[in-house]
Amino acid sequence: DAGITQSPRHKVTETGTPVTLRCHQTENHRYMYWYRQDPGHGLRLIHYSYGVKDTDKGEVSDGYSVSRSKTEDFLLTLESATSSQTSVYFCAISTLAEQPQHFGDGTRLSIL
């Protein structure tokens, strides 16, 4: 999606290192979300934001933190990466909470 950019697209790192994933949007949407997708589990919400500096936890938030200092950027940080956090991470945005979400291209993260 042209309005959502995730970076990096791929990353390989070692257990115990910090990792930050970035989601950048050009749509000026209020809501931003971070999901992880794993086989057999589907998409699971990690954290979401409903405005600048306003964030809340999702169903799998342990080991993750987020920050949103500007409308367009939503950062996901793994403070000390573990192998169980190997996954594909998707960012999504929406105008209103009840409106459909649109997804970025994803980040494939491998933690060795």
Q: In whole angstroms, what is the distance from residue 112 CA to residue 109 CA?
A: 10
- Backbone φ, ψ for residue 85 (5° rounding): -95, 5
Least distance between other proteins and beta carbon 24 (Å) = 15
The only residue of 5, 13, 22, 45 in contact with other proteins, by rule CB under 8 A: 45
The only residue of 11, 50, 65, 73 in contact with other proteins, by rule CB under 8 A: 50
The only residue of 8, 16, 80, 97 in contact with other proteins, by rule CB under 8 A: 97
Residue whose CB is less far from other proteins, 7 or 15? 7
CB 60 within 8 A of CB 41: no
Residue 24 is a binding residue for other proteins (CB under 8 A)? no
Q: In whole angstroms, what is the distance from residue 20 CA to residue 76 CA?
A: 6
Residue 71 is a binding residue for other proteins (CB under 8 A)? no
- 83 three-class SS: helix
